[in-house]
Amino acid sequence: MPELPEVETVRRGLAPVLEGQRLSRVEARRADLRFPFPEGFVQRLTGATIQRLERRAKYLMGVLDRGETLVMHLGMSGRFEIARPEGTIRPGEFVYASDPDPKHAHVVFDTQAGGRVTYYDPRRFGYMALIETAKLGEHPWFAGLGPEPLGPDFNTEGLKAAFAGRKQGPKTLLLDQRVVAGLGNIYVCEALNRAQISPFKPAGAIPARKLPGLVTIIGEVLEEAIEAGGSTLRDYASADGALGYFQ
């Protein structure tokens, strides 16, 4: 499953094509992915403008001018392909994925400017929903999520409180989405290794002096992965069609 850096890589790839753009045409080629599309999905999106493209944990969120947000999760094998009037855009020095099979193209977004974004998902574990923007924080997918690891709310004091008195290892706690949102196994293991903290030592026994460094290192590991285009997952492709190479 794509982790935070992969999703952020996709967000950054889609933003220049979708942000500030009016959706002139939307096509859903089936009734569902992992879950059914919401009622009136195509009609509610057609004509809407995507004001900005955000990420929360492992979710992509297109904030619309109609008071709703298009929430998207890539599941196990979801990917986007970008095309513009001049052709498919594939920037970046990455290892390119093979062209997606057209039968796996499930959703198409056309913009008034002439761009096209196609969502492919062979396994169909991804999903999309339209949620009232003002109530996003109350939705079961987002309620209770911890701070973003790249944001200011993820800090030493918060980590100290989360670890205090806990017998679980730091790896277990850092993978808990209530402690910090969006971290996955590969990046937690790398951060703990760099910080020279055993993943099995009780979190409550970790010296407080090590926590500021751990917070910093987690951010560094994620930023490096984003810069590299994400981890080398067979089914993952960034929004420009390229595989990442963080290992």
Q: Is 2 a catalytic residue?
A: yes
Sequence letter at residue 196: Q
CA distance 112 to 15: 15
Q: Which of 21, 64, 59, 29 is nearest to 44 (CA)?
A: 64
Catalytic one of 2, 5, 149, 170? 2
What beta strand segments (E) does 74-232 contain? 79-84, 87-88, 95-96, 105-111, 116-120, 127-132
Q: Dig out the tokens for 213 from the structure.
A: 């460094």
Give burial (CB, 10 Å; 0-12/13-18/19+) of 89.
middle
Q: Which residues contact 141 (CB under 8 A, 6 or more apart)?
A: 59, 71
Q: Which residues contact 166 (CB under 8 A, 6 or more apart)?
A: 173, 202, 203, 204
Catalytic one of 3, 6, 68, 190? 3
CA distance 80 to 70: 15
Q: Is 102 a catalytic residue?
A: no
Q: Which residues are catalytic?
A: 2-3
